Amino acid sequence: MVTLAEVAQHAGVSASTVSYVLSGKRSISANTRQRVERSIRELGYHPNAGARALASSRSNIIALMIPLRTDMYVPVMMEIAIAVATTARTHGYDVLLLTGEEGPDAVRRVAGSGLADGMILMDVELDDERLPLLRATDQPSVLIGLPSDTTGLTCVDLDFRATGALCVEHLAKQGHQDVAVIGEAPAVYERHTGFAERTLDGLRSRARELGVRLLHRPCEGGYDAMAVTLARILDERPDTSGIIVQNESAVEPLLALLRQQGRAVPEDVSVVAICPDQVATQASVRLTSVSLPAQEMGRHAVEHLVAKLAGRGSDEVVLLAPELTVRSSTGPAPSRP
């Protein structure tokens, strides 16, 4: 283990000089800087993280709390996590992975121990139990997701209300009057996950405005659950000509079932998905969809947090505008017989 002192000695300067070369917090002559940098290279010096953290009371670590449950949006979570990690690195931060398991205690632990300088919380619920703690410890943080009360918080999320509205609009514009919404698993709604409720909100209010009849049904993923859900929907509203899906693992089963029943997409039924682009483009029908900008969310979250840590940046809610990409799963509503 090479230490700062050894580098200093090797370069013939004092330890503090080396430190200032490293941090750039005081001006150093070009000559000295080069000598020091050379010594660093020759000795293979790496600053010791613990010592640094102790002396500067900054760990250069960002904590990322991801949900323990993997019942939804796994690839999206992963994409966000990776975006967070890579963006953080470009700002000189590393990422500590916390699972939801510990719950609020993790916030206490991380804030208390100075393990991380700030944290990013994913999968925030409308009334999340971690929020009071977050406010109390004034731990710099950014949420991915939107709780019901955002005072004193910085949040980044897709504008799901606008997303819902956008989906309905697209179908309405093509003449669809009866639209079914296939949602996330019931548990997601019971848990009051913000994005699910806000999507529904957007869907409903826009539908009301446009005179579209909307039928919302939660749905566990998978083929069997989808079969039951679809049957019920068509039973209740036989004239359904548009379907909006917000559940990755229901997408392909839905398409398979429609095909099996002889309902052509988009001739008989139009389908709009709210899902990652990858799912939309790889499905058996290229789906018209609103994509989940996972990377962008991760990047934004880190950048806001870094700004906060630098003393810049303020509490703020950033809602990313949804974009609907038209592919081949939507078309004009069939004329009623």
Our finding on whether 264 is near its own copies (CB under 8 A) is no
By rule CB under 7 A, what string of x and - marks binding of each residue 31-70 to DNA? xxx-----------x-xx--xx-xxxx-------------
Integer Cα distance of 195 and 275 in angstroms? 13
Helices assigned H by DSSP within the chain: 4-11, 15-23, 30-43, 49-56, 74-90, 104-113, 130-137, 160-173, 186-190, 194-210, 223-236, 248-260, 277-282, 294-309
Tell the smallest beta-carbon distance from residue 30 to its own copies (Å): 26
26 binding partner (options its own copies, DNA, none; Cβ < 5 to 8 Å by kind):
DNA
By rule CB under 8 A, what string of x and - marks binding of each residue 187-226 to its own copies? ----------------------------------xxx---
Our finding on whether 278 is near DNA (CB under 7 A) is no
173 binding partner (options DNA, its own copies, none; Cβ < 5 to 8 Å by kind):
none
Stretch that binds its own copies, among 8-16, 143-151, 252-260, 310-318 (CB under 8 A): 252-260
Our finding on whether 23 is near DNA (CB under 7 A) is yes
Integer Cα distance of 123 and 69 in angstroms? 10
**Interstrand relation of 94-99 and 141-144 (parallel, antiparallel or unpaired):** unpaired
Residue corresponding to tokens 């592919």: 327
Our finding on whether 184 is near its own copies (CB under 8 A) is no
* 10 CB neighbour count, 10 Å cutoff: 18
324 binding partner (options its own copies, DNA, none; Cβ < 5 to 8 Å by kind):
none
**316 φ, ψ (degrees, to nearest 5):** -170, 145
Our finding on whether 42 is near its own copies (CB under 8 A) is no
Our finding on whether 320 is near its own copies (CB under 8 A) is no
Binders in 218-247 for DNA, by CB under 7 A: none
* 49 or 264: CB nearest its own copies: 49
Integer Cα distance of 327 and 337 in angstroms? 27
68 binding partner (options its own copies, DNA, none; Cβ < 5 to 8 Å by kind):
its own copies
Residue corresponding to tokens 């749905």: 219
Structure tokens at 137: 């410890």
Residue corresponding to tokens 């966000």: 80
Q: Give the number of C-alpha atoms closer than 13 A to the C-alpha of residue 59, restricted to the C-beta side.
A: 17
Stretch that binds DNA, among 5-13, 123-131, 193-201, 280-288 (CB under 7 A): 5-13
23 binding partner (options its own copies, DNA, none; Cβ < 5 to 8 Å by kind):
DNA
Integer Cα distance of 156 and 158 in angstroms? 7
How many residues bind DNA (CB under 7 A)? The answer is: 31
Our finding on whether 86 is near its own copies (CB under 8 A) is yes
Say if CB 93 and CB 82 are below 8 A apart.
no
**329 φ, ψ (degrees, to nearest 5):** -105, 0
Integer Cα distance of 108 and 162 in angstroms? 35
Residues contributing to the site for DNA (CB under 7 A): 1, 3-5, 12-17, 19-20, 22-23, 25-29, 31-33, 45, 47-48, 51-52, 54-57
Residues contributing to the site for its own copies (CB under 8 A): 1, 44-54, 57, 59, 61, 64, 66, 68, 70, 74-75, 77-79, 81-82, 85-86, 89, 94-99, 101-102, 108-109, 112-115, 221-223, 249, 252-253, 255-256, 259-260, 281-284
